[in-house]
Chain A
């Protein structure tokens, strides 16, 4: 099983739609969770951290389900500018170092 798994998509949605992505992780000891956004041929940028109680940042809502080991990202009122690849990122401790494990990403295409 991959350490972090995501549906690669693409998810094709019209402007204004609500779309949700899930991500599963294998390491039950993971403590930190993030969503990064990556535009085509660009560097990843932090979208939001994911907290145990769930958190919201404008149109974006992140949820964590520790029991089932999955993280979700909900985007409301999709904009054309939301078109990008969304990377699920989970920490894992290895030999005393907290490494980040990146998922392969879920591609979102928002159309007019």
Chain B
């Protein structure tokens, strides 16, 4: 059981480049999330999805886009990378939110924009 799989683990981008962070889960969870974690800071929610075809902005969505075409996949797109997007990115999923359910995290992507 793989859980939540994120790729790549590390990436260095030049300013203005684009990339997609991949996230897949095999637990049939409806809810998926993208967080970023800056040094010494708490996790901040970028985007979330409550099911295939439904996405919404979190606290810090600027500079990012997402899609959710299937239950399993929730990629995060950076269109024009900026140094402010240097961070560790975590994808997570949960089975529901009615009574708040445990978050399962991927192992993270460390992104540097230079």
Contacts and interface: CB of A to CB of B under 8 A. Distances in A.
- Size bracket, chain B contacts: 20 to 34
B43 interface: yes
A6 B99 CA distance: 25
Contacts of B106: 43
B13 to A, nearest CB: 19
A42 interface: yes
A59 interface: no
A42 B88 CA distance: 10
B105 interface: yes
A4 interface: yes
B74 interface: no
Given A103-B42, A104-B41, A97 B48 contact: yes
Nearest to A6: B42
Nearest to B91: A43
B103 A100 contact: yes
Given A32-B100, A99-B45, A105-B42, A43 B105 contact: yes
A45 interface: yes
Given A42-B108, A43-B108, A45-B105, A102 B48 contact: no
Contacts of A31: 100
29 contacts: A4-B42, A41-B108, A41-B110, A42-B107, A42-B108, A43-B90, A43-B105, A43-B107, A44-B43, A44-B90, A44-B103, A44-B105, A45-B105, A46-B102, A46-B103, A87-B42, A91-B100, A97-B48, A97-B50, A97-B56, A98-B100, A99-B45, A99-B58, A99-B59, A100-B45, A100-B103, A103-B42, A104-B41, A104-B42
Interface of A: 4, 8, 31-32, 41-46, 87, 91, 97-105
Interface of B: 35, 40-45, 48, 50, 56, 58-59, 88, 90, 97, 99-100, 102-103, 105-108, 110
